[in-house]
Amino acid sequence: MPQQDQTTDLVLREALEANGQRFTEQRAAVYRFLASTDKHPTADEVFLAVRSEVPVISLATVYKSLETLVGCGLAMKLTYGDGSARYDGRTDPHHHARCLSCSRIFDVGGHLPPEELDDLEEGTEGFQVTGYRLELTGYCSRCGKEQAEA
Amino acid sequence: MPQQDQTTDLVLREALEANGQRFTEQRAAVYRFLASTDKHPTADEVFLAVRSEVPVISLATVYKSLETLVGCGLAMKLTYGDGSARYDGRTDPHHHARCLSCSRIFDVGGHLPPEELDDLEEGTEGFQVTGYRLELTGYCSRCGKEQAEA
DNA sequence: GTATCTGCAAATTTTTTGCCAGTAG
DNA sequence: CTACTGGCAAAAAATTTGCAGATAC
């Protein structure tokens, strides 16, 4: 097992134990895949990818594992209008850009300055804000090109 | 029919015609309901509400009508991790605050200053930004109170 | 008159659940 | 050991679709 995977496994083990959950090979495989990609796969895509490394895993287990990871703060669940949920292994503050044509998700760095959030919170009347999610919509370079050519 | 409904119907009619679609009583009922509430109902909730006014409408038609409205720019489809999509009849720029406890959605006024968006777009490398969506997460006044009491 | 829309029921898609055997701690 | 997990298959939930009759224009 590569050095990097050992580190990843350790992170996972500690997060699981902190939440009173057990470390299992299936959860590790799901987490390793999520941590290794900058894509934002659906549960089914995770299943297909993981199955090629850990042949014995079921789709239901992938769903359960993903929810466990989300519960431990090691992944984020993203939902868009296209039917299935997507999962993101990055937990540092960042945003997403979603292509309206091909539905792929891209990472965007940076974060809003605190004063902007304060301004927004002013209008919330007793709503206690703990976080936020920002998503740009538009067309990725590939789809934008196709549009221009059409 | 109240004056306001006549205006609402006219808006709908024009938007539909601009998109080559027909004005129907079912679409009007769905749109009137969406425009009259500041809730963010699911398709099923729209169905239940509309059915009490227009007894003969089916859930499938509600789904079709909602998609038509979204296509005409008269409504927005919002998805969260809780299974079903929600629809928002407000089309002016505004944000949402979602309660992590009860899952209700609240409107938040205001919009980001353009320079913030420009900053974000810098990191997108060829992604052509057409819009954005910002969502605050936290606890609404009702659920926040319950938490404090517990 | 004709293309579009609706209602119905059936199909699809996505996600969750119950239950028994297996395994981590 | 004992409780938590995984696999399987079945169920549930959400949404979409095919088609015949109805309707807007």
pLDDT tens sequence across B84-95 = 889 999 888 888
Task: Tell me: do B69 and B135 sit in the same domain.
Answer: no
Burial class (CB in 10 A: 0-12, 13-18, 19+), A83: exposed
Partner B contacted by A139 (CB < 8 A): yes
Question: Same domain for B10 and B83?
Answer: yes
B23 touches chain A (CB under 8 A): no
In this predicted structure, what is the pLDDT of residue B148? 53
CB < 8 Å from A in window 47-106 of B: 77, 79-81, 85, 95, 97, 99-100, 106
Do A10 and A73 reside in the same domain of the chain? yes
Q: What is the CA radius of gyration of chain B?
A: 18
**A110 & A82 share domain:** no
Report CA(A1)–C1'(C13) in Å, whole number.
Answer: 36
Q: CB neighbours (10 Å) of residue B104?
A: 14
- CA-to-C1' distance for A123 and C24, Å? 49
Inspect the interface and report whether the beta carbons of A124 and B97 lie closer than 8 Å: yes
- Confidence band of B146 (pLDDT split at 50, 70, 90): low
For residue A38, what pLDDT band results from cuts at 50, 70 and 90? confident
Give the end of a domain, one of A46, A70, A88.
Answer: A88
Structural domain including A52 reads 3-88
In this complex, the nucleotide whose C1' atom is nearest to the CA atom of residue A44 is C14
Asked if B33 and B103 sit in the same domain, the reply is no
Same domain, A78 and A104: no
Question: Does residue B114 sit in the same domain as residue B80?
Answer: no
With a cut of 80, say whether residue B24 has pLDDT above it: yes
Q: Give the residue from chain B lying closest to A125, CA to CA.
A: B141
The CATH number of the domain holding residue B51 is: 1.10.10.10
pTM (predicted TM-score): 0.82
Q: Which residues of A touch B102 (CB under 8 A)?
A: none
Q: Are residues B32 and B69 in the same domain?
A: yes
Per-residue flag: B18 CB under 7 A of strand D: no
Number of domains observed in the structure of chain B:
2
Give residue B23's pLDDT.
96
What are the C-alpha distances in Å from A119 to residues A116, A134, B97? Answer: 5, 16, 14
Q: Which CATH number is A105's domain given?
A: 3.30.1490.190
Q: What is the pLDDT of residues A66-115, one digit of tens each?
A: 999 999 989 988 887 666 888 998 878 788 888 877 777 888 877 777 77
Judgement on whether residues B56 and B127 belong to the same structural domain of the protein: no
The spacing between the Cα labelled CA in A66 and the C1' in D2, in angstroms, equals 25
- Summarised one tens digit per residue, pLDDT across range B109-133 is 777 777 777 777 777 777 888 888 8
Q: Are residues B83 and B9 part of one domain?
A: yes
Domain end call among A88, A113, A133:
A88
User: To probe the interface with A, which of B76, B107, B115, B128 has the most A CB atoms within 10 Å?
Assistant: B128
Of A47, A70, A88, the domain-final residue = A88
Same domain for A99 and A47: no
The chain B residue lying nearest A67, using CA atoms, is B81
Nearest C-alpha neighbor of B39 from the set B79, B89, B82? B89
CA of A113 to C1' of D3 (A): 46
Report the residue from B99, B112, B138 with minimal CB separation from A116: B112
Q: Cβ–Cβ of A97/B129 closer than 8 Å?
A: yes
How many CB atoms are located within 10 Å of the residue A122 CB?
A: 11
Q: Are B121 and B78 within one domain?
A: no
Q: Which residues numbered 95-134 in chain A sit less than 7 A from strand D, measured from CB? A: none
- Cα separation, A5 vs A108, in Å, equals 25
DSSP for residue B73? T
